[in-house]
């Protein structure tokens, strides 16, 4: 073979190799182009699905605090367990075995867990909001694709306190009732989806770009509610309902000059941490339930007539010895027999006939417009969901009997909040205030983004008329009045009782054995600090407003005024009163609890005298022995000592904390555990 042929053959081989390389390079470049340009989005999506996932990050829900900054509703971090079923199966996971292991740790049954692990979805919840130790034990199992993520849980540190005001949020952090619902958008904050990288075992690793929850937190709410007064109200209401074996009850407490709501309570109540109980217990009766207010509205009939000049305070009216005919067939009656009564005595004895005659001087239109001015027949604007406007028909639709009975509280309906704010207008000099519940809305940095100040809706009566009404209403709580049990030693109390028959459920007039007992008043009458409305539905033991609601008013007013540092009229004057008020404020600021064991060895240091002084301190009491008592008896005994109760379980008291004879501050809470006594359990087991 000549050199030429050798060279030619070599060149051909080189050409072939180069061609192959060129063709290969072409296809590589072509494929690379397809991957990076043409199919870029497709393969990026596949890669992200394999290594990335997006998690919804719930922001920190805003807190709700009382007027003094005490926390009423907060959010706390908790772990939730989830799984990626596809990853679990691709790693050879045994769903049945994993379900068995997980069921031992979680409160979800094995069958449900296995079904979730066997699904074709990329994400399933196994159980949300588990205890920290449960999350650690699940992690220790090392199951592929079974992981935990931190969520926020809504928590109410005071349990049932202010439950009907606060409402609650569901497992996803969405407000369901109360302020949690009304202010859900502000409280919830911004929900964000954040990228998360998964490692080879499917574990989630957050990137540096993860935003802090706090930077997207919801707004905080500062309420006008006072936690201590709310606690006093709830305790006394529960005791009152129990004592009179009533169906339910409501109490509303208002600061009359500003319209600030200090407390609102209903019984029965519920724990918003576990709201799945009775729907009836969750009903905010103070705003949703309307009722015929009865004699409490005689205040507004008389006030309107005096203010309009249709009567003179010195006028007397013939009460016709307790029976007055209306029209051809109807009769109204008084509970006691009277002839001529002054305006003050009409209120003192709660005369229906006298009030009806005063109402007649206003005429139908005048009476209707007076009640509308006081806020009846319209929502108050408190801001809680479900508020009823009550029912006050236009005067053009009144029958002859309606024009008479409406003046003393029959034939129209109202709610407890309306009644409280109407009385506040009398207490503060004649101004109907706009209800104030949410005082401030603050962002995550504490900056005020919204502030509500006291606002007057309108003047309803003159200052002179309001002052005169205050003088008249103190007679109601005097010795000859219908609410002597509402009288508070050392303070002037102005108010009015109500004993209203409930409508017959069959629509046949009024029931003879079903009543609403009420008392609405303010204290001190000469310098009003509190307006308190007490409504008790269907009491059995007694049914008169002064007997049933009056004592509840008195106990709430007594404890609240002491807490606020108000002094009775006989408590000294000038600098002495100032000094005593300051001491009371200091005592409230320093709470201590001293057990019997803490007093060991005090004999050497005059312990006997010290022990005596501790017991006799104005703000300190011995915890009574509540063991063996029913819940009702325990509540009564604790309240007699000025203590509140927290319940757990049903039955009789088997444990209590603090222990009997512990020295605590008046107003402290005692936790009791209810159950079956051991002796009874032993007897049942022996049987």
- One domain for residues 447 and 335: yes
- Residue linked to tokens 């009865």: 294
Closest CA to 305 of 365, 369, 350, 362: 362
74 within 8 A of 157, measured Cβ to Cβ = yes
Q: Residue 139 maps to which CATH number?
A: 3.90.1310.10
- One domain for residues 11 and 142: no
171 pLDDT band (50/70/90 cuts)? confident
629 within 8 A of 674, measured Cβ to Cβ = no
CA distances from 348 to 111, 184, 546 (A): 70, 46, 12
DSSP characters over 191-216? -EEEEEEE-TT--EEE-TTPPPGGGG
- One domain for residues 166 and 67: yes
Is residue 396 one of the residues assigned to a domain? yes
Q: Residue 496 maps to which CATH number?
A: 3.40.710.10
612 pLDDT band (50/70/90 cuts)? very low
Q: Tens digit of pLDDT for each residue in 411-467?
A: 999 999 999 999 999 999 999 999 999 999 999 888 999 999 999 999 999 999 999
Mean pLDDT score of the chain:
83
Is residue 596 one of the residues assigned to a domain? yes
Which has the higher per-residue pLDDT, 141 or 235?
235
Q: Tens digit of pLDDT for each residue in 332-358?
A: 998 889 899 999 999 999 999 999 999
pLDDT number for residue 636: 75
Distance of CA 556 to the CA centre of its chain: 18
pLDDT exceeds cutoff 70 at 483 = yes
Which has the higher per-residue pLDDT, 113 or 371?
371
- One domain for residues 108 and 213: yes
Phi, psi for residue 302 in degrees, rounded to 5: -65, -45
pLDDT number for residue 523: 96
- One domain for residues 80 and 18: no
- One domain for residues 522 and 611: no
167 within 8 A of 176, measured Cβ to Cβ = yes
Q: Tens digit of pLDDT for each residue in 648-657?
A: 766 788 888 8
Average pLDDT score over residue span 121-142: 86
- Residue linked to tokens 């017959």: 504
Domain closes at, from 171, 202, 223: 223
Is residue 576 one of the residues assigned to a domain? no
227 pLDDT band (50/70/90 cuts)? very high
In the chain the first and final C-alpha atoms are separated, in Å, by 119
Q: How far is residue 426's CA from residue 428's CA, in Å, rounded to a whole number?
A: 6
pLDDT exceeds cutoff 70 at 514 = yes
Query: Poorest-confidence range of 195-209, 213-227, 238-252, 280-294?
Result: 195-209
- One domain for residues 530 and 405: yes
How many Cα atoms sit within 13 Å of 135 on the Cβ side? 16
pLDDT number for residue 593: 33
User: Is 295 a catalytic site residue?
Assistant: yes
Most confident among 95-99, 285-289, 500-504, 569-573 (mean pLDDT): 285-289
- One domain for residues 239 and 305: yes
87 pLDDT band (50/70/90 cuts)? confident
Q: Which two tokens stand for residue 22?
A: 């060129």
Q: How far is residue 435's CA from residue 650's CA, in Å, rounded to a whole number?
A: 38
Among the listed residues 160, 248, 250, 295, the single catalytic one is 295
Domain closes at, from 223, 239, 254: 223
Which has the higher per-residue pLDDT, 16 or 442?
442
601 pLDDT band (50/70/90 cuts)? very low
SS3 of 570, please?
coil
pLDDT number for residue 316: 95
pLDDT number for residue 349: 92
Query: Poorest-confidence range of 33-47, 112-126, 278-292, 644-658?
Result: 33-47
Closest CA to 316 of 296, 288, 339, 292: 339
pLDDT number for residue 68: 95
- One domain for residues 218 and 238: no
- One domain for residues 238 and 215: no
Q: Which domain holds residue 437?
A: 227-564
Query: Poorest-confidence range of 110-114, 405-409, 515-519?
Result: 110-114
pLDDT number for residue 56: 58
Q: Tens digit of pLDDT for each residue in 193-225?
A: 556 555 555 555 554 444 454 556 899 999 999
Most confident among 93-97, 152-156, 311-315, 658-662 (mean pLDDT): 311-315
Q: Residue 617 maps to which CATH number?
A: 3.30.10.20
26 contact partners, CB below 8 Å, separation of at least 6: none
pLDDT number for residue 194: 58
Query: Poorest-confidence range of 98-102, 548-552, 610-614?
Result: 610-614
- One domain for residues 510 and 650: no
Average pLDDT score over residue span 146-158: 87
Is residue 484 one of the residues assigned to a domain? yes
SS3 of 270, please?
coil
- Residue linked to tokens 């867990």: 113
Is residue 581 one of the residues assigned to a domain? no
Is residue 586 one of the residues assigned to a domain? no
Domain closes at, from 207, 223, 239: 223
Is residue 445 one of the residues assigned to a domain? yes
pLDDT exceeds cutoff 70 at 600 = no
pLDDT exceeds cutoff 90 at 53 = no
Average pLDDT score over residue span 313-332: 90
What's the domain count of the chain?
4
- One domain for residues 410 and 548: yes
669 pLDDT band (50/70/90 cuts)? confident
From the CB of residue 337, how many other CB atoms can be counted at a distance below 10 Å? 11
Is residue 78 one of the residues assigned to a domain? yes
Average pLDDT score over residue span 490-512: 85
Q: How far is residue 625's CA from residue 659's CA, in Å, rounded to a whole number?
A: 8
């Amino acid at each position: 073979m000549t050199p030429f042929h050798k060279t030619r053959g070599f060149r051909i081989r080189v050409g072939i190799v180069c061609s192959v390389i060129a063709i290969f390079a072409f296809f590589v470049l072509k494929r690379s182009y397809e991957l990076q340009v043409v199919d870029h989005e497709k393969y990026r999506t596949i890669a992200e699905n394999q290594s990335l996932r997006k998690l919804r990050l719930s922001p920190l829900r805003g807190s709700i605090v009382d007027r003094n900054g005490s926390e009423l509703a907060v959010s706390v971090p908790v772990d939730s367990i989830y799984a990626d079923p596809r990853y679990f199966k691709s790693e050879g996971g045994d769903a049945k075995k994993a379900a068995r292991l997980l069921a031992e740790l979680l409160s979800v049954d094995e069958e449900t867990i296995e079904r979730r692990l066997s699904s074709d979805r990329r994400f399933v919840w196994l159980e949300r909001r588990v205890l920290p130790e449960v999350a650690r034990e699940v992690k220790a199992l090392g199951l592929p694709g079974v992981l935990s993520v931190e969520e926020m849980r809504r928590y109410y540190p005071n349990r049932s306190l202010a439950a009907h005001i606060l409402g609650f949020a569901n497992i996803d952090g969405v407000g369901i009732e109360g302020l949690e619902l009304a202010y859900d958008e502000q409280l919830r904050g911004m929900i964000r989806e954040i990228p998360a990288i998964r490692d080879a075992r499917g574990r989630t690793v957050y990137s540096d770009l993860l935003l802090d929850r706090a930077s997207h937190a919801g707004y905080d709410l500062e309420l006008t509610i006072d936690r201590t007064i709310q606690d006093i109200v709830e305790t006394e209401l529960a005791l009152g309902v129990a004592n009179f074996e009533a169906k339910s009850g409501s109490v509303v407490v208002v600061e009359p000059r500003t319209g600030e709501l200090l407390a609102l309570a209903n019984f029965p109540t519920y724990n918003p941490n576990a709201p799945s109980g009775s729907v009836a217990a969750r009903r905010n009766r103070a705003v949703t339930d309307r009722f015929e207010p009865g004699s409490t509205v005689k205040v507004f009939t008389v006030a309107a007539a005096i203010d309009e000049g249709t009567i003179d305070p010195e006028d007397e009216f013939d009460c016709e010895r307790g029976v007055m005919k209306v029209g051809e067939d109807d009769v109204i009656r008084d509970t006691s027999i009277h002839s001529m009564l002054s305006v003050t005595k009409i209120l003192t004895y709660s005369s229906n006939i006298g009030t009806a005659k005063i109402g007649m001087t206003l005429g139908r239109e005048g009476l209707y417009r007076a009640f509308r001015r006081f806020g009846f027949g319209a929502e108050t604007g408190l801001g809680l969901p479900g508020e009823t406007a009550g029912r006050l028909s236009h005067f053009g639709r009144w029958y002859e009997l309606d024009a008479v009975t409406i003046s003393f509280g029959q034939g129209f309906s109202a709610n407890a909040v309306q009644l409280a704010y109407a009385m506040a207008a009398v207490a503060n000099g004649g101004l109907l205030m706009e209800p104030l519940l949410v005082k401030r809305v603050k962002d995550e940095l504490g900056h005020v983004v919204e502030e509500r100040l006291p606002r007057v809706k309108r003047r309803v009566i003159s200052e002179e008329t309001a002052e005169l009404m205050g003088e008249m209403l103190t007679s109601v709580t005097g010795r000859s009045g219908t609410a002597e049990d509402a009288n508070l030693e050392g303070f002037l109390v102005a108010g009015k009782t109500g004993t209203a028959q409930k409508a017959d459920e069959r629509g046949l007039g009024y029931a003879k054995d079903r009543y609403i007992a009420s008392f609405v008043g303010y204290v001190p009458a000469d310098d009003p600090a509190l307006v308190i409305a007490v409504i008790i539905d269907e009491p059995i033991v007694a049914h008169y407003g002064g007997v049933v609601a009056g004592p509840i008013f008195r106990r709430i007013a007594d404890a609240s005024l002491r807490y606020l540092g108000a002094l009775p009229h006989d408590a000294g004057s000038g600098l002495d009163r100032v000094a005593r008020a300051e001491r009371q404020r200091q005592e409230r600021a320093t709470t201590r609890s001293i057990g019997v064991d803490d007093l060991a060895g005090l004999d050497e240091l005059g312990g006997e005298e010290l022990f005596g002084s501790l017991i006799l301190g104005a703000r300190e009491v011995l915890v009574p022995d509540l063991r063996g008592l029913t819940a009702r008896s325990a509540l009564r005994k604790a309240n007699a000592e000025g203590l509140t109760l927290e319940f757990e379980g049903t039955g009789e008291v088997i444990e209590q904390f603090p222990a009997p004879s512990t020295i605590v501050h008046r107003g402290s809470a005692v936790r009791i555990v209810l159950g079956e006594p051991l002796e009874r359990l032993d007897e049942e087991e022996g049987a």
